[in-house]
Amino acid sequence: MKVFRQELTPVSFLDRAGAVYPSSAAVADGERQFTYREWLDRARRFASALRAEGLRKHDRVAFLTSNSESLLLAHFAVPMAGGVLVAINSRFSADEVEYVINHSGARFVFSSAELKGQLPLNTDVVELGEEFEKLVESGSQGELEGWLQAEDDTIAIDYTSGTTGRPKGVMYSHRGAYLNALAMVIENRLNRESVFLWTLPMFHCNGWCFTWALAAVGASSVSIPRIDPEDVWRRLDNDGITQFNAAPTVLIMLANHPAAHRCARKVRVCTGGAPPSPTLIGQMGELNFELVHLYGLTETYGPLTLNIAQPWLESVGLEEQAKFKSRQGVPHVTAGEVGVIDERGNPVPSDGETLGEIVVRGNTVMKGYYKEPEATEEAFRGGWLHTGDVGVMHPDGYVDLRDRKKDIIISGGENIGTIEVEQAVMSHPAVLECAVVAIPDDYWGEVPKAFVSLKPGQAVTEAELIEHCRKHLVHFKAPKQVEFCELPKTSTGKIQKFVLREKEWSGREHRIH
Amino acid sequence: MKVFRQELTPVSFLDRAGAVYPSSAAVADGERQFTYREWLDRARRFASALRAEGLRKHDRVAFLTSNSESLLLAHFAVPMAGGVLVAINSRFSADEVEYVINHSGARFVFSSAELKGQLPLNTDVVELGEEFEKLVESGSQGELEGWLQAEDDTIAIDYTSGTTGRPKGVMYSHRGAYLNALAMVIENRLNRESVFLWTLPMFHCNGWCFTWALAAVGASSVSIPRIDPEDVWRRLDNDGITQFNAAPTVLIMLANHPAAHRCARKVRVCTGGAPPSPTLIGQMGELNFELVHLYGLTETYGPLTLNIAQPWLESVGLEEQAKFKSRQGVPHVTAGEVGVIDERGNPVPSDGETLGEIVVRGNTVMKGYYKEPEATEEAFRGGWLHTGDVGVMHPDGYVDLRDRKKDIIISGGENIGTIEVEQAVMSHPAVLECAVVAIPDDYWGEVPKAFVSLKPGQAVTEAELIEHCRKHLVHFKAPKQVEFCELPKTSTGKIQKFVLREKEWSGREHRIH
């Protein structure tokens, strides 16, 4: 190491936490609890065991499990050993899991007992639990010789839960993970008193880099394998939870659960993956949650922008406030530049009206897609990462997401962002969740259709709901049809619009976009 | 700019603050106040004016002024323009100032009216005030083309106020300044609600990188040209100050001023430059100051370690608590490694007893001394920055400073750290400040002598004070003589021990160490 140059890596956060916060709780997972001193020793044991078992520099190490202490540990131990972590989405199909194992060329595979069946039959797998503990015990807790030579080296590959096509392996660098983790600490005010509840899957953008951020300040993790709303409410009351992260769909579920009640202390809740509706924002405030709206992609290490409140908000009505808060916002402190560009690559006017594609560049953008140079080049064309999200730029520099590029509706030549339509539908008190997609129309080409699930015990007719939307939207944006149903979702709680769309378009020619 | 790689620079913090916190107060200096939006425009004007006046990449731009909005602005505008900031210690003698101007090869020199007389006669100087404002106005507030190509480029050169020899120019990089600023944000919990009072000179390690850190989170600065204790106490009451930084000598002055009183809200106070005595730590707590003890050097961008409290402290007595808090502590979150080594370069035992030199390496160590490759090589020998400070390593990894290497007393073959002796002297209620130096002794070689200033209205005799020390120290460490006097200090409040020593040793042969 040079005297004034050290490669940036979030592994250093655990090395330091073990020394500086030795007796602080690092992680609790059911009955199992570790202080940072114990946990650093454990990470070193796991890392040295990996090396003893033959891990070579940059070997991929795959984990297939829901949230658990072992997966959190792997975020430090695998790169500490010199490997690259591949945290597989636990809801991937057996086909997808097989693809990821093969494509990443994983040299080690770890799996929970319950998910082992998803792995290809001939996989050499270490089962989490007894077998894993035996492996960890076989390691030594001394400090390992560092193998990291360049901070741009890959620390993790995150396979996207692509709604169509094969999963793509998004490569994170040590430097990017370090910088995004520090931004999470700063923007979310994490400190050694923080107690974080893992409602967010750790395999999802490495838990938005909170996996690493918490160790940077000696904060505590409470790992839960799945979200049982009653359990979450109980933990909020009893476990001193100060913060959790979740997609809006999860928050809707929590806020509408019978156990929901106003928290005694304010709890910070970061949400992302989809814009929270003004309705949800209002509801969360009443429950004493401080809602922070983040926006990002797997390709941006998770959170990239956040909605920072402005002083003038205090002097406007609640509806305008909620509308502002549903914007995706501005880049976080280490994120770099965010823009909205037209098809020729020029910035659209900052008028809050003109649609364009959201693009980004900076230290918290992925290195590229693993073994897919063409897809990487396509994503990076023109010197920006293209998000595939359509939005507008407001005069104050706040980005406002209007739709996924492939979800946008073109009706009689006009663009309709489905998010705006969905928010109008969801402002009706009977509606729990909603997804709007384009359906074919012989005259207009496409028109919006809303798929809606209602709150328990609530009722509303299709006609009433369309009428409600017409009060809030110009008429051509209001849904032409409403269907009441349960909405199909991905593992991270995103609604699978392509499932809804396929149903409507089957037998028709493919949509142009 | 590459899609996933941006050079780290703290200038980005102001670019972002201008966009994200446009209406927040950036800085107040007397009647002058600027929001971040206004201040970013102002920085851009100043930067573009520098370029228009002929600044070339990496040209040095010198400032000679006490704390002021213009010097704070220069921390962003000068590197934004592509230049290197040289913030000169305002208490340097005319000789030293001339040396710095010449050695740095400053292309532009800015000075306050009151300090202009310190500059060499033929200097082409821009006076802060009207002349400076005219220059800034001549600039344009558009975004400048960035000239930064490598984050390792120099952002600032800080000339040390060496107690002996010529000042040395410590080079800071954009990367190091960025990382140390983020650490200051995290470890000191700065956020957009913070209001920071500039009791610390901005020329001192660029204000410990708080100059840049505050902009990273949109916090407010209140600039004051000098410390008037009554004014500081008034501002604490009236200006919503949440934090300030100062050397222990300044804190002693504030805590013992007639205007001192318990603050209504807790105020965070970072101190460094010398270890706070247990007496001072106790006093500060009573005034509702949360004292954070930092340690660092000009060569480490200011703060390098901090004293992080441990849970077990709550169960021990106040004296033991204060003793723990006077330790220098552990590396901050971006700081790298700190060690204590013996003369052969090996780590001393972590026993809290064995003296060695404190050494450090990591991203927040200087690039080197400007135009002094030999001095740089000497400071970096063995792959560490040698601090010239003598200390011990405790079993828990906390560094505890015992003395400056050149201040240590060797008495009958035993090492005596003067800090320990000073703290024993200062635990006497009548003592305000104290400095202990070696004086010649025919039998022991050297023995400790204490120079002491008393609190107003207090009295104690030499014999009483020596007796008091013998209760707290093994006898050979207690001062053999006590002299009551006013202590000579540097501009940053450090006591100039070499002045005291010279007086005692004049006419004698030079000391060996």
Percent of chain A at pLDDT > 90 equals: 81
> Is any Cβ of chain B less than 8 angstroms from the Cβ of A154?
no
Summarize pLDDT for B261-294 with one digit per residue, the tens: 999 999 999 998 777 887 888 899 999 999 999 9
The closest of B445, B368, B437, B399 to B163, measured between CA atoms, is B437
Q: Which of residues 209-238 of B touch A (CB under 8 A)?
A: 216-217
Selecting from A1, A21, A333 the residue whose C-beta is nearest the C-beta of B216 gives A333
CB contact under 8 A, B385 and A4: yes
Q: How far apart are CA B82 and CA A310, in angstroms?
A: 32
Q: Structural domains in chain B? A: 8-141+151-175 (3.40.50.980), 408-505 (3.30.300.30)
Size of interface A-B (CB pairs under 8 A): 104
> Is any Cβ of chain A less than 8 angstroms from the Cβ of B240?
no
Which chain B residues are closer than 8 Å to A333 by Cβ?
13, 16, 182, 216-217
Which chain B residues are closer than 8 Å to A2 by Cβ?
361
The per-residue DSSP string of A43-66 comes to: HHHHHHHHHHTT--TT-EEEEE-S
> Is any Cβ of chain A less than 8 angstroms from the Cβ of B473?
no
Question: Does position A277 have pLDDT exceeding 90, yes or no?
Answer: no
Question: Does position A204 have pLDDT exceeding 70, yes or no?
Answer: yes
pLDDT of residue B491: 66
Please give, rounded to a whole number of angstroms, the shortest distance from the CA of B361 to a CA of chain A. Answer: 5
Residue of chain A whose Cα is closest to the Cα of B186: A186
CB contact under 8 A, A216 and B186: yes
Please give, rounded to a whole number of angstroms, the shortest distance from the CA of B18 to a CA of chain A. Answer: 11
Please give, rounded to a whole number of angstroms, the shortest distance from the CA of B400 to a CA of chain A. Answer: 15
Which chain A residues are closer than 8 Å to B366 by Cβ?
4
The per-residue DSSP string of A405-466 comes to: GGG-EEETTEEE-HHHHHHHHHTSTTEEEEEEEEEEETTTEEEEEEEEEEPTT----HHHHH
Please give, rounded to a whole number of angstroms, the shortest distance from the CA of B317 to a CA of chain A. Answer: 20
Selecting from B19, B24, B331 the residue whose C-beta is nearest the C-beta of A16 gives B331
Per-residue pLDDT band at B512 (split at 50, 70, 90): very low
CB contact under 8 A, A186 and B216: yes
Summarize pLDDT for B145-182 with one digit per residue, the tens: 999 999 999 999 999 876 567 899 999 999 999 999 99
Q: How far apart are CA B441 and CA B138, in angstroms?
A: 65
CB contact under 8 A, B310 and A173: no
Summarize pLDDT for A295-329 with one digit per residue, the tens: 999 999 999 999 999 999 999 988 888 889 889 99
Question: Does position B511 have pLDDT exceeding 80, yes or no?
Answer: no
Summarize pLDDT for A464-495 with one digit per residue, the tens: 999 999 998 888 899 999 999 999 987 667 78
Question: Does position A164 have pLDDT exceeding 70, yes or no?
Answer: no
Question: Does position B431 have pLDDT exceeding 50, yes or no?
Answer: yes
Are the C-beta atoms of A170 and A301 separated by less than 8 Å? no
pLDDT of residue B474: 87
Per-residue pLDDT band at B478 (split at 50, 70, 90): very high
Q: In terms of DSSP H, where are the helices of B156-292?
A: 174-187, 205-208, 210-216, 229-238, 248-255, 278-286
Q: Which of residues 312-341 of B touch A (CB under 8 A)?
A: 312, 330-331, 333-334, 336
Which chain A residues are closer than 8 Å to B176 by Cβ?
4
Report pTM: 0.92
> Is any Cβ of chain B less than 8 angstroms from the Cβ of A383?
yes
Please give, rounded to a whole number of angstroms, the shortest distance from the CA of A72 to a CA of chain B. Answer: 20
CB contact under 8 A, B385 and A312: no
ipTM: 0.91
Residue of chain B whose Cα is closest to the Cα of A5: B363
The residue assigned the tokens 């064995």 is: B354
> Is any Cβ of chain B less than 8 angstroms from the Cβ of A121?
no
Per-residue pLDDT band at A126 (split at 50, 70, 90): very high
Percent of chain B at pLDDT > 90 equals: 81
Secondary structure element (H or E) that encloses residue A193, with its range? none
Are the C-beta atoms of A328 and A399 separated by less than 8 Å? yes
Poorest-pLDDT segment among A263-272, B10-19, B240-249, B397-406: B397-406
pLDDT of residue A163: 57
Give CA angle at A501 (A389, A228), nearest 5°: 75
Q: How far apart are CA B480 and CA B213, in angstroms?
A: 46
CB contact under 8 A, A361 and B6: yes
Please give, rounded to a whole number of angstroms, the shortest distance from the CA of A94 to a CA of chain B. Answer: 32
Distances (CA, A) of B69 to A230, A504, A511, B79: 54, 63, 59, 16
Per-residue pLDDT band at A512 (split at 50, 70, 90): very low
Secondary structure element (H or E) that encloses residue A371, with its range? none
CB contact under 8 A, B186 and A336: no
Please give, rounded to a whole number of angstroms, the shortest distance from the CA of B491 to a CA of chain A. Answer: 28
CB contact under 8 A, B23 and A310: yes
Which chain A residues are closer than 8 Å to B330 by Cβ?
16, 19-20
Contacts 24+ apart (CB under 8 A), B351-356: B351/B392, B351/B393, B351/B394, B351/B395, B352/B392, B352/B393, B352/B394, B352/B395, B352/B400, B353/B392, B354/B392, B354/B393, B355/B390, B355/B391, B355/B392, B355/B402, B355/B408, B355/B415, B355/B417, B356/B390, B356/B391, B356/B392, B356/B393
Who wins on pLDDT, A408 or A360?
A360
Residue of chain B whose Cα is closest to the Cα of A331: B16
pLDDT of residue A491: 66
- What is the bridge-based pairing of β-strands B25-29 and B32-35? antiparallel
Who wins on pLDDT, B366 or B326?
B366
Residue of chain A whose Cα is closest to the Cα of B381: A3
Please give, rounded to a whole number of angstroms, the shortest distance from the CA of A44 to a CA of chain B. Answer: 18
CB contact under 8 A, B186 and A331: no
Summarize pLDDT for A214-235 with one digit per residue, the tens: 999 999 999 999 999 999 999 9
Which chain B residues are closer than 8 Å to A24 by Cβ?
311
Percent of chain A at pLDDT > 70 equals: 97
Selecting from A4, A13, A336 the residue whose C-beta is nearest the C-beta of B366 gives A4
Mean pLDDT over the full length of chain A:
93
The residue assigned the tokens 């070997």 is: A59
Question: Does position A412 have pLDDT exceeding 90, yes or no?
Answer: no
Residue to substitute from A4, A151, A179, A313, interface B, most B β-carbons within 10 A: A4
Selecting from B1, B19, B361 the residue whose C-beta is nearest the C-beta of A3 gives B361
pLDDT of residue A513: 44
Selecting from A216, A308, A331 the residue whose C-beta is nearest the C-beta of B333 gives A216
Mean pLDDT throughout B418-438? 92
Percent of chain B at pLDDT > 70 equals: 97
Are the C-beta atoms of B48 and B24 separated by less than 8 Å? no
What distance, in Å, lies between the first and last C-alpha atoms of chain A?
Answer: 51
What's the one-letter identity of residue A26? A
Task: Report, in angstroms and rounded to the nearest whole number, the Rg of chain A calculated over CA atoms.
Answer: 23
pLDDT of residue A396: 95
CB contact under 8 A, A1 and B383: yes
Q: How far apart are CA B292 and CA B267, in angstroms?
A: 11
Per-residue pLDDT band at A504 (split at 50, 70, 90): confident
Are the C-beta atoms of A28 and A184 separated by less than 8 Å? no
- What is the bridge-based pairing of β-strands B356-361 and B267-271? unpaired
Which chain B residues are closer than 8 Å to A361 by Cβ?
1-4, 6
Q: Which of residues 170-199 of A touch B (CB under 8 A)?
A: 173, 176, 182, 185-186, 189, 191
Please give, rounded to a whole number of angstroms, the shortest distance from the CA of B390 to a CA of chain A. Answer: 19
User: What token pair was written down for B193?
Assistant: 């609600």
Selecting from A1, A189, A384 the residue whose C-beta is nearest the C-beta of B191 gives A189
- What is the bridge-based pairing of β-strands A337-341 and A330-331? unpaired
Task: Report, in angstroms and rounded to the nearest whole number, the Rg of chain B calculated over CA atoms.
Answer: 23
Who wins on pLDDT, A161 or B53?
B53
Q: Which of residues 393-452 of A touch B (CB under 8 A)?
A: 396-397
Who wins on pLDDT, A394 or B411?
A394
